[in-house]
Amino acid sequence: MNKDQAWLYALRSEPSPQFKEELRAKLRALEPARSEVRREWPRRALMATAAMVLLALVVSVPGVRAQMAQFLSWFRVVRFVAVPVDASRVARLKAENLEIKTLIGEHVEVVRDPGPAVAVGSLDEAASAANMTLALPQWLPNGTQVLETVVAGEREVRITADGRRLQQVMDALGINDLAVPAGLDGNVVHVKVPPVVTIRYGHGERRSRLVQALSPEVALPGNIDLRALGEIGLRILGLSAEEAKQFAQRIDWHSTLLVPVPPNARSFREVTVGGHEGVLVQHQPRNGSPTYTVIWSTPERVFVLLSTESWDQVLAMADSVR
């Protein structure tokens, strides 16, 4: 809130507990008027949503969030295809000690390790450390302040493909109608991620985090059959043979990565953020405040905004990032 406008908020206050409870009880007593005809989800929204990166879902889910932190830092700037995860498959992989993180981790060589992210004293310092101008929200909820700014340096890794382990995963899940592409073993994917700047905001108990980075460079040998690998990935995540085949045929695997969408994420929708397509994701932890995540990209960088503000506030913040 702008100080010289504080008087304009003089009428605002929270609803009284009595009113809140009485209205809630009244609403609960109403017979739900379930419409027989469900409104068709807008075609364009579904298209874009299905096609968008739902990285946000991953980071918004406790347990997965920490596990995926490293993964996200490498691939945050690449568009993903959202694929809901079949929870039973995750359990089966765990039982076989074949968690995806473990599989990746065994074959990653860190070429350049910047070490832990470093807290800096100011946004200017962050921009200087990351060697880029920072895009910042021009609107924040009243009373919001920057709590911390951290910069992670450039990271460079090489990931070596292991067809044998992939076959183990497929065997464990009973995927026996597909074969690991020949010649996969030993191929190397090279990933270079520019510095990542994270700005933490807060007011009261509400917290927000804006993450931004320039686009990374990813390179891999041209002889890898990405479509075949993609189809296997879709099956591993739980799509049926028919779904996976259909999906795999239509995705440009040269610009797409799959992102597992945990089944307990609450909702998401397509949004426009500063003129760019994005996705707003809601997750409601069992014993905590709901979190909202907006992820969007511009031609030169990708942004992720995580927040415990209400979704319209989060969207307003994201929309004002310049």
Q: What does residue 109 show for φ and ψ, rounded to 5 degrees?
A: -110, 120
The interface with other proteins within residues 277-306 (CB under 8 A) comprises: 277, 280, 282, 284, 290, 297, 299, 302
HSE-up of residue 16 (Cα within 13 Å, Cβ side): 3
Q: From residue 310, how far is each of 32, 78, 206, 281 by CA, in Å?
A: 25, 27, 9, 12
Of the candidates 318, 295, 300, 298, the one whose C-alpha atom is nearest the C-alpha of residue 76 is: 295
Candidates 19-27, 99-107, 162-170, 197-205: pick the segment binding other proteins (CB under 8 A): 19-27
Binding letters toward other proteins, positions 113-142, x by CB under 8 A: --------------------------x-x-
Min dist CB 118 to other proteins, Å, is 26
Binding track over 32-61 against other proteins, x by CB under 8 A? xxxx--xx-x-x-xxx--xx----------
Residue of the chain from 3, 70, 81, 152 that contacts other proteins (CB under 8 A): 81
- Among the listed ranges 104-112, 155-163, 166-174, 217-225, the one in contact with other proteins (CB under 8 A) is 217-225
Instruction: Specify the amino acid at residue 236.
Output: I
Q: Which of residues 229-288 bind other proteins (CB under 8 A)?
A: 238-240, 243, 246-247, 250-252, 254-256, 261, 263, 266-267, 269, 271, 277, 280, 282, 284
Judged by beta carbon, residue 128 or residue 183, the one nearer other proteins is: 183
C-beta of 120 vs 130, nearer to other proteins: 130
Question: Which CB sits closer to other proteins, 121 or 299?
Answer: 299
Is 21 one of the binding residues for other proteins (CB under 8 A)?
A: no
CA distance 223 to 240: 27
Dihedrals phi, psi of 309, to nearest 5 degrees: -70, 170
User: Coil, strand, or helix at residue 7?
Assistant: helix
- Tell me the closest approach of the beta carbon of residue 286 to other proteins, in angstroms: 11
Nearest to 151 by CA among 123, 126, 175, 132: 126
Rounded-to-integer distance, Cα 153 and Cα 213, Å: 10
